[in-house]
Amino acid sequence: MKAPTPQSIKRQIDDLVAKLIELGLSDDQNVTVLKQTGSTSFRITFSGDIAISAALKNRDYVSVYEELVNARAYNLKLLDGAMVQMQYEFSDETLLRHRLAFFPSPYLTPFQEEPEVYLQDVLFAEIVSRRIVPFPLRFDFDAREGRFSDIVHPKCHLTLGQYQDCRIPVTAPLAPRWFIDFILRNFYHTAFNQYAEKLNMHEILFDKSILQEEQNIIHISTPTIMR
């Protein structure tokens, strides 16, 4: 198993975006950018990157979604309008932070007037129900000193919706391929079954970051480097 580097993370994002375009699942996308932020530090983000955290504060979901769409603040936008963001920061070849976010579109109401448009596309098979309430989700990792706290603010955690204190512990940081796997498997399962074997790029794993105390409560398990 290869040790993750800024270059390998960027390469995997580029490969994933290219494959999703090839499969006809991406409607729009931005160039992946590798920025050197110091002598030994790097940031992987996307063109169109804005102050995302500021955009999410004290705003209803529809206005947050619209602001991000208008700024094209995403790696890629799926056919239904959902946005995917993947950002990583490294210091001395070690992962320092990541932010992996999914913003589903709040605008699928035209299904009620033109259902045949959606039902013809496999991507929409799971999301056209009137019962669906779209909400954002985010996998965050932050190993900077003073930014994490046992159980209360795990180094790696999953946030659902816009709940300020929703931080579900996660065993380890996620590589881009595992994040896309999670999104397709859980929100576009029909598309996942059709295309999963064509997205076989699971060669990047990170070390476990979860603490024992966090493993003793409900948490999310993700593949990690076995040592």
pLDDT band at 47 (very low <50, low <70, confident <90, very high): confident
- Cα–Cα distances (Å) from 198 to 10, 67, 123, 174, 181, in that order, read 19, 32, 15, 19, 11
Whole-number Cα distances in Å, 69 to 64, 76, 88, 94: 9, 10, 21, 31
User: Is 222 a member of any domain?
Assistant: no
The number of domains in the chain is: 1
- pLDDT for 156 equals 97
Q: How does DSSP classify residue 127?
A: T
Structural domain contains residue 227: no
Q: How far apart are the first and last CA of the chain?
A: 11
Within a domain: 226: no
- CA–CA separation, 29 vs 74, rounded Å? 7
- In a domain, residue 120? The reply is yes
Whether 159 maps to a domain, the answer reads: yes
Q: Does pLDDT of 94 surpass 70?
A: yes
Lowest mean pLDDT among 88-102, 112-126, 170-184: 112-126
Q: Which domain holds residue 195?
A: 6-215
User: CA 190: distance to chain centroid?
Assistant: 19
